[in-house]
Amino acid sequence: MLKIEKLSASYGKKQVLFDISAVIERGKFTAIIGRNGSGKSTLLSCIASLHSYSGKITLGGRDISSISRRERAKALSFLPQNLPITPFTVAETVAFGREPYTDLTGKLSDLDKKAVCRAIEQCGIAHLSDKRLGEISGGERQMAYLAMMMAQNAAILLLDEPTTYMDAPNARELLSALTLARDGGKTVLAVMHDLTQAIKYADNVILLDSGRPVFSGSRDAILQSGEIERVMGVESHRLADGQYVFL
Ligand code: ADP
């Protein structure tokens, strides 16, 4: 279980996160939602140990700041919003996910190679394996990095707006891959700007408003609370198939 206690964070003198406490349930898909600038990415960066904060984040009771970088990489993986276009191929990129498991030579064991192949299959990008990241589309690149994350095989997957550059079919594929990972026991924590997707795929939701958590709980509870409508300034509509859209 990932626990956030009284977390605050700033950029210089500007405080952007205020006293956030939340529990991220193990084996569940949790979406972080909120308006632009509400602090979603900063919160995820704090959890990924990429932004300084006051307060405490614990993983299974251990303060994450006391866990070594290598151990942390086995427990927690992070997919940022802006993914670099490197000269590497898709297969090479996915293999980087095994870094926490290899020795100093970086040589992949048979187990590592299997994990790389499995991740490539899981993300449906086998046909792109030998392509360089600069030769594929933004959405395909996102799937390649998702496969890198799958190869890393951490218990917790942190993703910052993972479907931003994707068309609807690719977004569906990525979210299905995350759902499968969740079903396999992974904990998924994703910043999501698309409310319809968030409500469709997430078990739990954290809603931020100006750096404060105004809601943290189950998908059904947030739908009942009316907080999405109030904070995001949208109307929700339940369609005949049970899905929600927010306009
Ligand atoms: P969100 O992900 O919800 O859009 P962010 O976490 O990116 O929000 O930003 C929260 C606040 O922090 C915003 O007011 C934003 O302008 C500010 N901010 C984000 N990144 C920086 C930065 N590098 N330097 C200064 N302020 C920043």
**Nearest-atom index, ligand 1, CA of 34:** 3
Question: Averaged over 215-242, what is the pLDDT?
Answer: 94
We report the CATH number of the domain holding residue 212 as 3.40.50.300
Q: How far apart are CA 216 and CA 105, in angstroms?
A: 44
Question: Averaged over 43-56, what is the pLDDT?
Answer: 97
pLDDT for res 103: 84
Q: Verify whether ligand 1 is closer than 6 Å to residue 68 (CB atom).
A: no
In tens, the pLDDT along 103-141 reads 878 889 999 999 999 999 999 999 999 999 999 999 999
Strands 236-238 and 212-218: unpaired
pLDDT for res 38: 98
pLDDT for res 48: 96
**Residue 9 in contact with residue 18, Cβ under 8 Å?**
no
Tokens at 58, concatenated: 């614990």
Question: Averaged over 70-79, what is the pLDDT?
Answer: 94
Band of residue 43 on the pLDDT scale cut at 50, 70, 90: very high
- Which of 14, 42, 209 gets mutated to test ligand 1 (max ligand atoms within 8 A of its CB)? 42
Residue-number span of the structural domain to which 61 is assigned? 2-246
Question: Averaged over 224-233, what is the pLDDT?
Answer: 95
Place of tokens 């009316």: 226
Total domains in the fold of the chain: 1
- Percent of the chain with pLDDT strictly greater than 70: 100
Q: Is 170 helix (H, G, I), strand (E, B) or coil?
A: helix
Average model confidence (pLDDT) across the chain? 95
Nearest CA to ligand 1 atom 1: 37
> What stretches of 104-216 show up as alpha helix (H) in DSSP?
110-122, 138-152, 168-183, 195-201
Q: How far is ligand 1, taken at its centre, from the CA of residue 115, in Å?
A: 35
pLDDT for res 1: 87
Tokens at 242, concatenated: 């049970």
Residues pairing with 226 in the sheet: none
Q: Verify whether ligand 1 is closer than 6 Å to residue 206 (CB atom).
A: no
Q: What's this model's pTM, rounded to 2 decimal places?
A: 0.95
Buried-state track 190-223, b at ≥16 Cβ within 10 A, e below 16: bbbebbbbbbbbbbbbbbbbebebbbbeebeebb
Q: How many CA atoms does the CB half-sphere of 57 hold within 13 Å?
A: 24
- Percent of the chain with pLDDT strictly greater than 90: 89
Q: How far apart are CA 25 and CA 206, in angstroms?
A: 12
